[in-house]
């Protein structure tokens, strides 16, 4: 396997239910130069872990990543793994790893370079959980990486995320979940705009609504950005997305029926948030801070909304760090001198 790569790298961002998976699938099917990886990258998970003696842990990490399941449906019944989408096995990949890779994100980027090469493409694109929050860090770890953000009308993005696993019934913690998904939508918007100002050549934004309604300008711009035919882009986005918003008539759900999924208060809160006034003052402060400290703002916002869950995750993260540290030490001691 040739270690020389000259790839284009794209991270696909945006708030949940905004068309990230659709973009990745359309790139995989229609782009002449960019391979869209069909599974979530989960880069954010590994960016928060620590791997002492990293060189000795690379095979362990590669194996874990390739076997990590991704749930493909709302009920979490359909599972795929990265290894399902590669033509070579882990041992061959491990043997081919360049010596210079010294961090998890660099390892995954190299892995996706190989994926793109297998597809006969010059680059790759992978979606992840709000990669715009950590884009400044990713730029340091992946040479030349660019960011494409999918944005969707906030009413639709919020309604679909809110009812994703419970439709047509509302989730039990409706108010808190509503605030959380709206908070994330606002964070994505303000942080993305900040990146557009600082990296104008490396950050692009597309409206999911414009693409699905067949807006000629949006279709042409996407085709040019990712080396696709305009008609291919039109075909990829030629569908009626669930939870389409029809004003006072409500939202058209997956069953095709119109439901007033959001209350008048929730729609008012969305309108105010779009106008720059979030309903909770503490979260409004974090949104204002987010362009300058996106990871901190997101983390503190999550804690304010779900303190018990976040504390549990932090305990688990500490345990994971202990596991990774012990694994690194053990593997380094076993390594030949």
Look up residue 255 and give its two tokens: 């069953």
Residue 157 phi/psi, 5° resolution? -60, -40
- 336 vs 156, residue with greater confidence: 156
Contacts with 335 (C-beta within 8 Å, 6 or more apart), sequence order: 56
**Bridge partner list, 80:** 70
Q: CB of 59 within 8 A of CB of 94?
A: yes
Query: pLDDT, tens digit, for every residue of 224-242?
Result: 999 999 999 999 999 999 9
pLDDT tops 50 at residue 2: no
195-222 burial, b if ≥16 CB within 10 A, otherwise e?
Answer: beeeeeebbbbbbbbbbbeebeebbebb
3-state secondary structure 137-177: HHHHHCCCCEEEEEECCHHHHHHHHHHCCCCCCCCCCHHHH
Query: pLDDT, tens digit, for every residue of 22-39?
Result: 999 999 999 999 999 999
Query: pLDDT, tens digit, for every residue of 86-108?
Result: 988 888 898 899 989 999 999 99
Q: Where are the domains of the chain?
A: 8-334
- Give pLDDT, residue 6: 53
Give the other-Cβ count within 10 Å of 45's Cβ. 16
CATH number of 8-334: 3.40.50
From the number of C-beta atoms within 10 Å of its C-beta (0-12, 13-18, 19+), residue 55 rates as middle
Query: pLDDT, tens digit, for every residue of 76-89?
Result: 788 999 999 998 88
- pLDDT bracket for residue 1 (50, 70, 90): very low
- pLDDT bracket for residue 159 (50, 70, 90): very high
High-pLDDT (> 90) share of the chain, %: 91
Query: pLDDT, tens digit, for every residue of 303-322?
Result: 999 999 999 999 999 999 99
Let me know how many helices (H) and strands (E) the chain has, helices first.
Answer: 15, 10
3-state SS, residue 252: strand
- pLDDT bracket for residue 8 (50, 70, 90): very high
Contacts with 292 (C-beta within 8 Å, 6 or more apart), sequence order: 194
Look up residue 152 and give its two tokens: 């969707």
Residue 29, CA distances (Å) to 7, 239, 318 in order:
18, 16, 40
Residue 16 phi/psi, 5° resolution? -60, 150
pLDDT tops 80 at residue 74: no
pLDDT tops 50 at residue 60: yes
- Give pLDDT, residue 337: 66
- Give pLDDT, residue 111: 96
Could you say which DSSP state residue 15 is in? Answer: S
């Amino acid at each position: 396997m040739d270690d020389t790569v000259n790839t284009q790298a794209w991270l696909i961002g945006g708030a949940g239910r905004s068309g990230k998976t659709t973009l990745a699938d359309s790139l995989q099917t229609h782009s002449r130069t960019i391979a869209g990886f069909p599974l979530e990258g989960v880069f954010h998970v590994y960016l928060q872990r620590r791997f002492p003696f990293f060189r000795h842990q690379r095979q362990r990490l590669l194996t874990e990543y390739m076997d990590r399941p991704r749930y493909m449906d709302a009920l979490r019944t359909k599972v795929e793994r990265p290894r399902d989408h590669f033509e070579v096995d882990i041992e061959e990949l491990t043997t081919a790893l360049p010596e210079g890779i010294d961090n998890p994100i660099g390892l995954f980027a190299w892995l996706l370079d190989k994926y793109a090469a297998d597809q006969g493409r010059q680059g790759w694109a992978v979606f992840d959980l709000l990669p715009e929050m950590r884009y400044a860090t990713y730029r340091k770890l992946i040479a030349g990486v660019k960011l494409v953000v999918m944005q969707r009308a906030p009413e639709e993005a919020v309604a679909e995320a809110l009812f994703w696993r419970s439709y047509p019934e509302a989730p039990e913690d409706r108010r808190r979940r509503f605030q959380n998904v709206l908070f994330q939508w606002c964070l994505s918007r303000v942080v993305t705009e900040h990146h557009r100002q600082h990296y104008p050549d490396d950050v692009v934004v597309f409206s999911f609504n414009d693409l699905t309604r067949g807006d000629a300008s949006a279709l042409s711009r996407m085709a040019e950005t990712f080396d696709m035919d305009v008609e291919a882009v039109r075909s990829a986005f030629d569908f009626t997305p669930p939870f389409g918003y029809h004003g006072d008539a409500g939202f058209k759900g997956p069953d095709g029926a119109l439901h007033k999924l959001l209350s008048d208060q929730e729609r008012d809160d969305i309108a105010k948030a779009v106008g720059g006034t979030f309903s909770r003052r503490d979260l409004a402060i974090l949104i204002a801070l987010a362009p300058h400290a996106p990871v901190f703002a997101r983390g503190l916002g999550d804690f304010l909304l779900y303190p018990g869950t976040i504390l549990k995750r932090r305990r688990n993260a500490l345990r994971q760090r202990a596991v990774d540290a012990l694994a690194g030490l053990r593997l380094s001691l076993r390594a030949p001198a």
